[in-house]
Every structure is written in C-alpha cells, then in structure tokens.
C-alpha cells in the first residue's frame, strides 16, 4: 500500500509516519510511506498513492482545495482514499463537502490511524482492482474499472479513461499478459479493450459505452469473441 502524509509541520509528519509504520508492521501490511509538506506537491503526484493523509489547514493551498481538485480529476473512483487530518473541529463540516473517506484527529492519532489503515487495506485487497503503471517519472495507481481501452503508440502503451490518458513505455504483449485475466480483451495487435465498457460486440467491430468504435482484426476475432463470451458467462453466473 502506497501511503503519503501531507502536512506543513515537519515534526508532526515525522511523528505520524512512525505511527503509520508501526501500524502497518503490526498488521503485516506491505507499505511505502512518503512525506510531502504542501498541497501543490501532492497534486503533481497524487496518482501514485492508495492512501493520502491530508492536513486540512495548510498555507497557500489548504487540504480542502487540494481534495476538491483531486476529486475533479479522479471522478467517482475510490482510489485514492483521502483522510483529512485536523486539530480544528470547526473546519470539519466545510471539509465534508469534498467527500473524504474519513477524518483523523491529531489528538487521537494512534487510535484513529490503526482503525483507518486496517479498513482501507481490507477494501484494497477485496477490490483487487488497482493497477500500477510507470508514466514518465511517476508511478500511477489506476482503477481498472475506469480504463476504457489501451492502444499501442510506437514503444509506448496509452491507457485511456473517461477523464485522463496515461502513457507507459511498454508493449501490448506484456500488458495483455497482465490484464487478459482481468476483463480486458485484445481485438487487434495494437488495441485492448475493457469488457466492462463494451456496449456492442459484432463480428468485425466493437463499440464502447463512450461511443468509441474499433475494428476487430481477422487474426483476433475468434479468440476475442470467445474471451468476451467467457467474460459474460462469469459476470452473470
């Protein structure tokens, strides 16, 4: 689980990271913790984290504004889970509008964080729907439900969602090896589509729910049709 603590007070961040470390080790959770000290730094790289502990009251760009911007970018996806951290109860009601996963009181860090991390780790394990790619210099956590299709672009693979696109230096064979058993269907040498977003599947074409249409190549049409049928059987079984 990739975790980040965002707070402008370094001494608090150091203390908080130790508590998180102890919690994860106590619960046998594989983890990585990073620390950031302003909201702008988080917005540059928020996609690489599963869990964000975000201070509400920060200078220049407060936690509420940061959460609002992340919500705009990620839509309704659960990941990233945002936990507001505060010592000011009067800011809680305003922060609720941004739909954080939870709140943690700085005065009750130890008790609150243990419960919170345990619940989110369980959700991530049960959902098992995140997929990490390296886009540029950053690692990005994608929710596979949000991925519509993948296309080859020279030495890269581009992941398309309703909101954003991500480019990873990779190849289609490797991506299909990763995603073929997770509801993704290869319809020609340069394209893989998410079965969850298929609205029309005909012999020679596929239409996604976003309106995007693809040709199904002769080489892949039989296996693509079989894979889609198998996926439907599992879905409605």
pLDDT at 223: 95
Average pLDDT of the segment spanning 94-119: 73
Q: What percent of the chain has pLDDT over 70?
A: 89
Check whether 94 has a pLDDT greater than 60: no
pLDDT at 47: 84
Check whether 95 has a pLDDT greater than 60: no
Average pLDDT of the segment spanning 94-104: 61
Sorting pLDDT into bands at 50, 70 and 90, what band is 91? low
Average pLDDT, the chain: 86
Check whether 38 has a pLDDT greater than 80: yes
Sorting pLDDT into bands at 50, 70 and 90, what band is 140? confident
pLDDT at 13: 94
Reduced 3-state DSSP string for 204-233: CEEEECCCCEEECCCCCHHHHHHHHHHHHH
Sorting pLDDT into bands at 50, 70 and 90, what band is 108? confident
> Between β-strands 165-169 and 156-161, what pairing exists: parallel, antiparallel or unpaired?
antiparallel
Considering only CA atoms, which of 147, 162, 150 is closest in space to residue 211?
A: 162
């Amino acid at each position: 689980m990739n975790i980040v603590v965002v707070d402008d007070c370094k001494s608090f961040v150091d203390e908080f990271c130790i508590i998180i470390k102890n919690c994860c080790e106590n619960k046998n959770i594989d983890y990585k913790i990073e620390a950031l000290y302003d909201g702008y730094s988080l917005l540059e790289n928020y996609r690489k984290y599963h869990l964000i502990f975000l201070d509400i009251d920060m200078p220049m760009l407060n936690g509420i504004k940061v959460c609002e911007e992340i919500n705009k970018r990620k839509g309704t996806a659960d990941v990233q889970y945002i936990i507001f951290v505060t010592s000011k109860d009067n800011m809680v009601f305003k922060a609720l509008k941004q739909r954080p996963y939870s709140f943690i009181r700085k005065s009750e860090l130890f008790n609150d964080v243990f419960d919170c991390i345990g619940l989110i780790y369980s959700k991530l394990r049960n959902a098992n729907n995140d997929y990490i790619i390296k886009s540029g210099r950053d690692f990005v956590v994608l929710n596979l439900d949000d991925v519509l299709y993948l296309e080859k672009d020279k030495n890269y693979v581009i992941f398309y969602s309703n909101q954003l696109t991500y480019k990873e230096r990779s190849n289609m064979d490797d991506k299909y090896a990763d995603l073929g058993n997770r509801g993704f269907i290869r319809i020609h040498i340069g394209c893989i589509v998410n079965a969850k977003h298929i609205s029309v599947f005909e012999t020679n074409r596929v239409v996604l729910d976003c309106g995007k249409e693809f040709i199904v190549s002769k080489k892949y049409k039989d296996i693509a049709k079989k894979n889609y049928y198998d996926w439907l059987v599992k879905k409605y079984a």
